[in-house]
Structure formats: structure tokens, C-alpha cells
């Protein structure tokens, strides 16, 4: 069972470069999420989606864009990377609609911006 798959696992960028992080889930989940995890900060929500074609801002959306063109995929874009965006990024998905469903996480993308 693949669950939630994130690509790439590691990436180093220079300031100002752009890139897209890919998230795919095979559980037919409606809800998908992008978080960043920094030391001492826990997980902070960047953007989320409650269904195909929908997106919404989370706690720390500035500098990121997202798209959910297909139900199984949720893309996170950095248009002009900044050193402050160095972090570990996690994608998650959940069944949604039922408030106590768990979120299923991928293994993360470690991103360094030089």
C-alpha cells in the first residue's frame, strides 16, 4: 500500500529558483494538506484542499501556491524560493467530512534554499 507519496525526497535550490513539490495519494481521500515542519515549531499548515479543484489558505500561505487538478494529487509550488522556506515539507490526506478521521502523512520532502 503506497498511501501518501511525496516527490522529491530531497532538494537544494538557490534563492529565486522555482520548484514544485508533488503529493499523490491512493486512498481516494477528499481532503489533502501541505505542512512545513521546522525545529521547535511543530507542523504548520500552508494550504489545504477539501476536494478536486478547491484550495484554501492555511496558517502560513505566503510564498506558496497550490493546485488540486486531480483528486489524487496536490501540488505545492514555490515561485521564487527564499532561505526562510528551508524546511521539511509534509503532505497529508484524510477521508474528510467526518471530523475524527486521521490524517495520513507522506515521508516528507527536505528542502534547502541557499
CA distances from 55 to 48, 71, 96 (A): 6, 12, 14
Which among 17-25, 43-51, 61-69, 71-79 is the span making contact with other proteins, rule CB under 8 A?
43-51
User: Cα separation of 24 and 112, whole Å?
Assistant: 22
| Pairing outcome for strands 73-78 and 64-67 | antiparallel
- Choose between 17 and 61: whose C-beta lies nearer to other proteins: 61
Please report whether residue 50 would count as binding other proteins according to CB under 8 A: yes
- Choose between 14 and 39: whose C-beta lies nearer to other proteins: 39
User: Cα separation of 34 and 93, whole Å?
Assistant: 9
Which among 13-21, 34-42, 67-75, 79-87 is the span making contact with other proteins, rule CB under 8 A?
34-42
Please report whether residue 61 would count as binding other proteins according to CB under 8 A: no
The residue assigned the cell 528542502 is: 111
- Rounded to a whole number of angstroms, the minimum distance from the CB of residue 37 to other proteins is 9
Amino acid at each position: 500500500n503506497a498511501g501518501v507519496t511525496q516527490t522529491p525526497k530531497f532538494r537544494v535550490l538557490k534563492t529565486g529558483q522555482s520548484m514544485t513539490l508533488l503529493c499523490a495519494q491512493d486512498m481516494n481521500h477528499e481532503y489533502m494538506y501541505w505542512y512545513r515542519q521546522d525545529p521547535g515549531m511543530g507542523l504548520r499548515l500552508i494550504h489545504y484542499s477539501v476536494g478536486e479543484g478547491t484550495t484554501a489558505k492555511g496558517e502560513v500561505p505566503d510564498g506558496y501556491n497550490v493546485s488540486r487538478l486531480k483528486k489524487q494529487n496536490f501540488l505545492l509550488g514555490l515561485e521564487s524560493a527564499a532561505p526562510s522556506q528551508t524546511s521539511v515539507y509534509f503532505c497529508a490526506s484524510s477521508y474528510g467530512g467526518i471530523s475524527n478521521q486521521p490524517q495520513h502523512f507522506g515521508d516528507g520532502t527536505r528542502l534547502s534554499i541557499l
